[in-house]
Amino acid sequence: MATAATGRAGNGSAPDEPGPTDPTLPHSDSAAANPTLTHDDSAAAKASNGAPGRGGRLPRSARRKQLMAAAQEVFVANGYHAAAMDDIADRAGVSKPVLYQHFPGKLELYLALLDLHTTELVGAVRSAMAATTDNAERVHNAVSAYFDFVDGESADVQGAFRLVFETDLRNEPAVRDRIAGVSRRCMQAVADTIAADTGLPRAQVELLAATVTGTSEVAARWWLESERALPKAEAVRLIEGLVWRGISNFPLVGDEDR
């Protein structure tokens, strides 16, 4: 980028199926602590925060999506450690055994949400690079991707960015690896574009790309924490201007006039 005008598993359509009855997990909320899993959607309907009642059966993929949305609300509100599978089941309006049919433990549910949202962010940054050959627009799109992610524009449930950028579970290796992975993949998407345009050594383009993505992330989080102290479009314009004025100084490959 330089000067120029230039899986989730189990998503089939079958209804909820019984899961393993005694998975071995090192988590206090594991299915091992629960009775044999059976369909419990026929219990008395009980909606929580607008969630469907317990009486309705859903295709497995729809149930999984419902459970993940409920879990995200609980994790965002309470943090991982204070969240309980009982709370998530209640928020989703299902029995706890039904929750365990889809996710054997709290960590697995949290990781499924991380996988979903890190994939969304990486996809948004990659699309920002691929959508145009105009590098000023690429910068705008990349900055916007972070502001949109933090703002929750593309999410069914608000607060997804908190699971990625503000998790209270960074000491868990699986979580730490995913968070490091999303930062690396976003950086690499930008670095690949800068490298193609400038021909700079890989170490240099990765440092520049990390500056673009890191600046965008921190600025977007500040904007949200400041209660949107200025309109998002204005905030994006300020940050893209800052980034573009720096990165546009690097000449394009084959541009002998620069």
Which are the contacts of 211, defined by CB distance < 8 A and separation ≥ 6?
243, 246
pLDDT digits (tens, 9 = 90+) for 11-29: 443 444 444 434 333 444 4
Q: What CATH number did the domain enclosing 153 receive?
A: 1.10.357.10
Are residues 174 and 92 part of one domain? no
> Of 151, 163, 116, which is closest to residue 235 (Cα–Cα)?
151
> Of 92, 246, 111, which is closest to residue 172 (Cα–Cα)?
111
Are residues 68 and 43 part of one domain? yes
* Choice between 63 and 12, residue whose per-residue pLDDT is larger: 63
- Residue ending a domain, among 54, 82, 104, is 104
Are residues 190 and 96 part of one domain? no
Rounded Cα–Cα distance for residues 54 and 45 (Å): 4
pLDDT digits (tens, 9 = 90+) for 110-134: 999 999 999 999 999 999 999 999 9
Number of domains in the chain: 2
